[in-house]
Structure 1
Amino acid sequence: MLDFRVPFDNNQAERDLRMMKLKQKISGGFRSVEGAQMFGRIRGYISTLKKQGLNVLEALKQVFLGNPTMPTVLQPE
């Protein structure tokens, strides 16, 4: 209630989960638990980059070059 950096609604959280549910619906699920975890980790990384206004394509390029972009962590005031 006091931190105005936090959005009023949770629509972004719902949007973040929608891709996972869509993948389950289209392909019938994941072939393994590890595959689902990897998918979630990649989607979470991309979502965080977008939320922080970073260039997703450049960040993914840096991941494959061995120099991943680490999103910043917001500290409560």
Structure 2
Amino acid sequence: RNTNPNDVIDKVSWTRRLDNLLKQNIEELGKKFITFRKGLVKCRDYIFYFLENPMIPFDNNGSERGIRKLKIKLKNSCTFRSDFGADAFLELHSIVETAKKHDKTPYNAIQALFKV
């Protein structure tokens, strides 16, 4: 993927390999591994979509970056002073992050809210 980012990679071999790993007996490893395996079984068909479609990221870093500011705000202040303030912060944050993902400026996105 690094040398040819637009190539489509067949996911069949990867899915077979995952299936073989999921069939192994992991009872002795503990409950956390069993729970993890159940989660993998549920999303098995979706795990390797990024191989077939180069537009799909292979990680969720974009999502994690999107909530980072919220987590830092909560960690620094431990709380919002009111429900109204929390709602306002979350709505504004959502607008700003959505604008960034659509290659728009946050200022223009917020300004568009007031145009009727």
- Tell me if both proteins adopt one fold, taking TM over 0.5 as the criterion: yes
Structure 1 unmatched runs, 5+: 69-77
Q: How many residues align?
A: 66
When Rg is computed on C-alpha atoms for both structures, the one with the higher figure is 2
Aligned equivalent of 1:67: 115
Match of 2:67 among 1, 17, 22: 17
Q: Is the 8 A contact 2:95 2:110 kept in 1?
A: no
Q: TM-score, with normalisation over the residues of structure 1?
A: 0.67
Structure with higher helix content: 2
Q: TM-score, with normalisation over the residues of structure 2?
A: 0.48
Structure 2 unmatched runs, 5+: 1-48
Runs of 4+ in structure 1 deviating by more than 6 angstroms, as ranges, are none
Q: Does 1:44 align with 2:94?
A: yes
